[in-house]
């Protein structure tokens, strides 16, 4: 995963507004438990591309890992408004509302 992080960082030095690289870097950070860094990358992604459903979903996952269920639910609602067929978001949303 460290190699992936390095590659995304290189890509972002070359093209700072590459929203997919920001999103993927956030996923890499999240998988390493670097939640603050992941959250920042997802927020950058959403500033660049507000309708990026996967970034809303990924941000929701980080919020859940941090114990913020309300913010996770908000992000999942946004993701599902943009892409109602986003399976992971549907599953996670259903698990939250069934609590």
Overall domain count for the chain: 1
Single pTM value for the model: 0.94
DSSP secondary-structure letter at 79? H
Query: 74-86, pLDDT tens digit by residue?
Result: 999 999 999 999 9
89 closest CA partner among 40, 74, 43: 74
Return the pLDDT at 99. Answer: 79
User: By the 8 A CB rule, do 57 and 38 touch?
Assistant: no
- Containing structural domain, residue 92: 2-97
Helix boundaries (H) for the chain: 2-14, 19-31, 35-48, 53-65, 69-82, 87-97
Return the pLDDT at 3. Answer: 92
d(CA 19, CA 32): 20
State the CATH number of the domain containing residue 18.
Answer: 1.25.40.10
d(CA 58, CA 76): 9
Query: 47-78, pLDDT tens digit by residue?
Result: 999 999 999 999 999 999 999 999 999 999 99
Is it the case that residue 1 has pLDDT exceeding 80?
Answer: no
């Amino acid at each position: 995963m460290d190699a992936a992080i390095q590659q995304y960082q290189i890509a972002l030095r070359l093209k700072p507004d590459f929203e997919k690289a920001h999103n993927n870097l956030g996923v890499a950070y999240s998988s390493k438990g670097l939640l603050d860094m992941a959250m920042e990358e997802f927020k950058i992604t959403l500033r660049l591309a507000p309708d990026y459903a996967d970034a809303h979903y990924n941000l929701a996952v980080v919020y859940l890992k941090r114990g913020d269920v309300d913010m996770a639910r908000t992000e999942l609602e946004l993701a599902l408004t943009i892409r109602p067929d986003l399976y992971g978001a549907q599953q996670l949303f259903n698990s939250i509302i069934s609590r």
